Every structure is written in structure tokens, then in C-alpha cells.
Structure 1
């Protein structure tokens, strides 16, 4: 984590948002957009610390106060340190973006590795559950909080099932959508808005990690807009759901998928 910087009354009035996996891909684009929108930020990364710090430098240049945390979201003990560190650093958190996620290797259902799937569900579901619990404890008005907003970054795979590609990943994202639905209903009365942004195929490193680096180009002809998305196009939707223009939106699943 970056060295603490004493907060000022002016800084305390700025939104403070946690973005998991904020050092690259969609998470980086979200953090950059939020910095421009006036948020202070906590970004997490699992590896490539130098890259994370370089992203943080850019966010600071845009006017944000930034903390950088190393966290493995496949490890709940590590995940549990994120929110307390953010509170210690900034004194409060107003937003949470559950962005970090993994797909597992692309392949048919019979090729699914169970241990790899265990990690997919740990990162994509158990970590967001824990972080949402911590967020609600801090934000909910019936717990003494001032309210806040959570955005879960899901996937269009949650509704297609991703046959012949990564069915467990699709399952994990469907579960994340269910988290949004249930949590929005339970804590809507207490000032916590919970929404989902559901991207379609987007140009990020996640495809190479899954074993198919050219997936965006391969899928483009089947997308109504005939192209994959860019991370900043997803970031705009996340920023909207965190912002004041979405003050009466909760439980929504906003699909950003080029028409798919």
C-alpha cells in the first residue's frame, strides 16, 4: 500500500471508491474514468506491482488520491484486508467496484478442471460476497453508515452459458448477477445501491490468459456492432452507476455488449 497521506476536510468530501483488479484492463479504465470524475481510489492488483504503481501515478496526475493494495482475491484472508486498509487510509468508502475476475481455460465442458473452477468461483464470487459484506457494514444507514454504491462487473456469458468455451465462468457470473439482485433488495431500504455492468467481449488480456488471445477478433463477426468493446466503453457504464444520475437505480443489470 502507498504511504498514508493525511486527509483534509476537502478530500473527505470526495467519493472514495475501491476498484478490484484496478491495474489493468477494464479495472484500469474504470479507475481512470473515476479519477477524472473526482473520485479518490483504492486499486488492487495480484501481480505486476510496477504496472500497478504506474497506473496509480497516472491517477494521481488526474487529481486523485490513490492507495495501491496487493491482494489475491483467490485467498479470502487476503481479500479481507482490502476494506479495512481503505478505511484506514481514507476514513470512509463510498463505492465498491467488484471488477477482478478470471475465466479459467477455454475448452469444452468435459475439459473443465475442477480445481481451476474452484479458483474461478473463489475470485469471481466468494471475494465479491466478502467485500460486499464489508461494504454493507460500512455503508448501510441501519449500520450507522451514510449509504453508498456497489457495481459488480459480470459478463454476457452469464446469460449465454458459454458452451464449448468456459461454462464454469458463465456460472460464476450468473451467480454474481444473483448477488446484485438479492443484495439490492435487502439493502435498498438502507441507502446501498447495488448494480451490475455486464460486458460482452472486450479487448483485454483476459482472453490470452484463457488461451485464446485473438478471441475479440474471432467473435467480432457475430456481434451486431461487428466489433469487440474497448475497456473505456465499459468504464463509462460503471461510472454512471456510481454517480448521481443513477440515484434511483438499483438491482439493474446493464449490458454493454455491442448488441449481443
Structure 2
């Protein structure tokens, strides 16, 4: 599943592709022969490093900046992909933000920022994906296992990711007849800077021991699932896949 009907490489846009899980997805899809558009917001150097890694893995790649919650910027992102590579086959929407606070203490301005990035951003990216992804393609959003864990301090983040799950399930049904799958990956604790930042060793060790597999997830664990949904997993559609080692 790494070429379209004209025998050209399949094309993937990966939002948040300059770091963390998104960066690993870039490398994994590049290894499958995809041409990759690495979306980032601010860090050009990291994005170019991701591009170099994708090319080293066997795929072509470019880096395009865009605020994912700005619908005009997202439209420009997709248009840049189409100009460079001729179309879009896969959209992996991995960009997001997290902020922790007990609900009673949550700064509602912070809540607005989380909802803007995680919910509005998903709408903006999925709107363009729904209009532009070619037949046989895939849209892959990122939810979170925190929608099930109900871990204190994560109310705003979990609420935003619950919205992503709902958007995904509805969009899959709205694309009936298009031959485009829509799914969400819901990682559990994964060893990225987003998860590790601000946690002491004891907290990390306690969380790592929760799943039956007794470890944190890795970006590669999640990237393998994304690669399956992007390619051979054509009969998986309208699902939220919880990738957390069996923690719940």
C-alpha cells in the first residue's frame, strides 16, 4: 500500500511531525516509501532534522510550518503538499498540547488554549483531509487513553481528546462511499518529552508498572500502529484503537 494508481509514492501529511510520536511516524512511513510533509509550528531546525531522517529512511520529505488551528494555514499546508507531490493519501494528525491541573484550579484561559489546539485543530485538519484525501487513503487522528484512565489532573486534556474520538467516529460515517478510512489512535503513557516533562522518577516508574507489559510505550510502538492503519489496515474504519499495553 505504498503507491497509488499512477505508481507514484503515496503522500502523507504528518502534523506535529518534528518531534515525539509524530517524528517517529514520519520515519516509519518514510521507510514504507511514502513522501512526507512534516508539519510543525515553531521549531524549523527540528522539522528539518525530521526531513533528513525521512530521506535517510527511504522517502522524500519537506517541512511546512502551520498553526493547525488556523484554517487558512491548514489549507495552505495541504495545497503545498499537492503542489509538491501531486496529492494527499494519508493524514496523520499527531499535533496537540497538554496542560495539567485539577479541575477546580484550572485556568479557563488555559482550557481555551487546549481546546483551540486539540479540538479546533482536529476540525481544521480533518476538514481539509475530508475534502482532499484520495481514494484508498486514510485519516488518522490522535486521541488518548486518558479518556479511559480518568487520571486526576487531566480533565482538560482528556475532555479535548474525548472530542477527537467523537469527531473521528462521525467523520468515518460521513465519508461513506469515498474509500477513505478514518480512525483514531489513543496512546497510553509513552516515553516522549510531552509525557516525561515535570515527572519525577518515582512517578514515571509507577505509571510504567501499570500495564501488564510493565513498561511505558515507545514512539515506535505507536508508529507501527499508524503504519498499519495507513496501509494494510483497510478493514479497520471508524474506530478508536487504545495502544497502552493493556493498562485498561
TM-score, length-normalised on structure 2? 0.91
State how far apart, in whole Å, the 2-side matches of 1:55 and 1:242 are.
19
Residue 157 of structure 1 pairs with residue 136 of structure 2:
no
Matched, 1:148 2:143: no
Query: Does the 8 Å CA contact 1:83/1:131 hold for their aligned counterparts?
Result: no
TM-score, structure 1 normalization? 0.87
Q: Give me the whole-angstrom Cα distance separating, in 2, the residues matched to 1:177 and 1:10.
A: 31
Q: Is the CA contact 1:151–1:241 (under 8 Å) kept in the aligned structure 2?
A: yes
Q: Is 1:257 aligned with 2:222?
A: no
Among 225, 228, 239, the residue aligned to 1:240? 228
Instruction: Name the residue aligned to 1:79.
Output: 74
Is 2:101 aligned against 1:114? no
Which stretch shows the higher mean deviation, 172-181 or 76-85? 76-85
Query: Does structure 1 residue 179 correspond to structure 2 residue 163?
Result: no
* Cα pair distance change 1:112/1:79, threshold 3 Å: farther
| Residues in 1 aligned to 2:74 and 2:116: alpha-carbon distance in whole angstroms | 10
Q: CA contact under 8 A between 1:180 and 1:195: conserved in structure 2?
A: yes
5+ residue gaps, structure 2, are none
Q: 1:177 to 1:10 in 2, by over 3 A?
A: closer
Q: Please report the RMSD computed on the Cα atoms of aligned residues, expressed in angstroms.
A: 2.0
CA distance in 2, matches of 1:11, 1:167: 46
Pick from 1, 21, 25: which aligns with 1:26? 21
Alignment of 1:37-56 (within 5 A): 37-56=32-51
Superposition pairs of residues 58-137 of structure 1, within 5 angstroms: 58-104=53-99, 106-137=100-131
Deviations 1:93-144 (A, max 9, x none): 000001011111x2211121111111111111111211111111113xxxxx
Question: Contact (CA 8 Å) 1:102, 1:123: kept in 2 or not?
Answer: yes
Unpaired segments of 5 or more residues in structure 1?
Answer: 1-8, 140-144
Distance 2:7 2:83 in 1: 13
1:187-241 deviation line (CA, Å, top 9, x unaligned): 13221100111100000011355x4365543411222222111100000000000
Between 1:94-103 and 1:216-225, the stretch displaced more is 216-225
Cα contact 2:66–2:73 (8 A) shared by 1: yes
